[in-house]
Structure 1
Amino acid sequence: MTQQEFPSALKNILESYQAPDAFFSALLPAIGDFLQSDRCFLYLHNPQNDLGKVAFCWIRTPDVPTVYNEEWAAQPPTLVDDDPMFAAALRAEPSIFVEDVETADSKVLNREFEQKYFGHRALIHAHIRQDGQLWGILQPCIFGHPRIWTEYERGVINNLVQRITPLTVDYVKSAFD
């Protein structure tokens, strides 16, 4: 997919914003609008010390729960066992497009874990990886009903992840310089 194939709002952000805080703050609502999602957040991960945080979160309406934590925190020791999608991200598997949390294969996700911590019904678990390491997860999601992700949407998200990977890696590294 070429840059011209990105929806115009995403293309404009990719071309216009340079500072990471402004870039990600503008990008998440544009992703939310493009996918008509209810929430979109960016989880950042430092692979050197297994610290993570959700630094950016956009919600469509105030009744959608926000996922956000300002401070870097250690991963819970059971996270890989409790969350198959996080384990897949660490193993460098492709991003995961879940159309219905209620009917997804238990090898793909832990329904109880998703319901307890996130509450969404459909989601994209987009893995931001570089040099065999996980640096982040972009997660747009839908509440209340399933959602079929089109091939075009999948292509846009996969290409978008490739485009934002260098900035994500630099952002995480700069937090620990």
Structure 2
Amino acid sequence: MRERLPDALGQLFEGAVEPDALFTALMPALGEVLPCDRCFLYLREPTTGLGMITHCWARDRRAAEWLGADWLEGPNAPPDPLMTIALRTPVAVFVEDIETVGSDVVDRAYERVIFQHRALVHAPIYFNTALIGIVECSVFETPRVWSEGDRQLIAALQAKLTAPTQAYLKQQPRFQD
């Protein structure tokens, strides 16, 4: 298991960096290191279930359309197998091709229409037993085999994101009761 992030990402966490600045710099850096077409950070207040995309980068510059997007949770929410998995376990899900993975992992129509990607990483960020965020990295046009190095990078990133995610949630009025 990789114990540290590649320098291009690890340097972003050094020093007393404000979470907002960290996340803003992290999304494009992560997109270049993996590489992928889009990276976003979905943050969530676990007691209220309120969550939204707070930071996004897209290679094709369409990131702005994703900022502020939110998802419903609870009985009125559309079924999203990836969110269901994320609420149960902190283990990242690596989807090489939404067209071939099982329906217990993705809702193909939902992923095609809403997210418009072909391959993705869905990496929950947990504090204790609560889901507080998700990093999602996507490839749009083609399937993608995620390497062991990619998996180790994501695991290291998930661990590094817990503290700044908690700090961000405490700083932002939109996540308060």
TM-score normalised by L of structure 1 = 0.89
**Candidates 138, 147, 150, aligned match of 1:150:** 147
| Helix, strand or coil at the partner of 1:2 | coil
The number of residues matched between the two structures is 173
Matches within 5 A, 1:10-159: 10-16=9-15, 18-62=17-61, 66-69=65-68, 74-75=72-73, 77-79=75-77, 82-159=79-156
Report the AA paired with residue 41 of structure 2. L
Is contact 2:90-2:131 (8 Å) kept? Answer: no
Which structure has the higher relative contact order (CA within 8 Å, separation 6+)? 2
Matched, 1:2 2:3: yes
Percent same amino acid among aligned pairs? 39
User: By how many angstroms is 1:64 displaced?
Assistant: 7.2
Give the CA deviation at 1:49. 0.5
1:160 maps to which residue?
157
Amino acid paired to 2:8: A
Change in CA separation of 1:149 and 1:120 when aligned onto 2, cut-off 3 Å: same
Contact 1:59 1:66 survives alignment (8 Å): no
2:111 match: secondary structure? helix
Deviations 1:77-97 (A, max 9, x none): 443x61111001111251100
- 2: distance between equivalents of 1:151 and 1:170? 30
Map Cα deviations across residues 88-139 of structure 1 (whole Å, 9 max, x no partner).
1111251100000111111111111111210100000000011111100000
Hey, what's the Cα distance between the residues in 1 that align with 2:71 and 2:104? 26
User: 5+ unaligned residues in a row in structure 2: which ranges?
Assistant: none
Aligned-pair distance for 1:7? 1.6
RMSD: 2.1
CA distance in 1, matches of 2:52, 2:16: 22
Equivalent in 158, 167, 171 of residue 168 of structure 2: 171
Q: Answer yes or no: is the 8 Å Cα contact 2:90–2:123 preserved in 1.
A: no
SS in 1 for 2:14: helix
CA distance in 2, matches of 1:162, 1:55: 19
Normalised by the size of structure 2, how large is the TM-score? 0.89
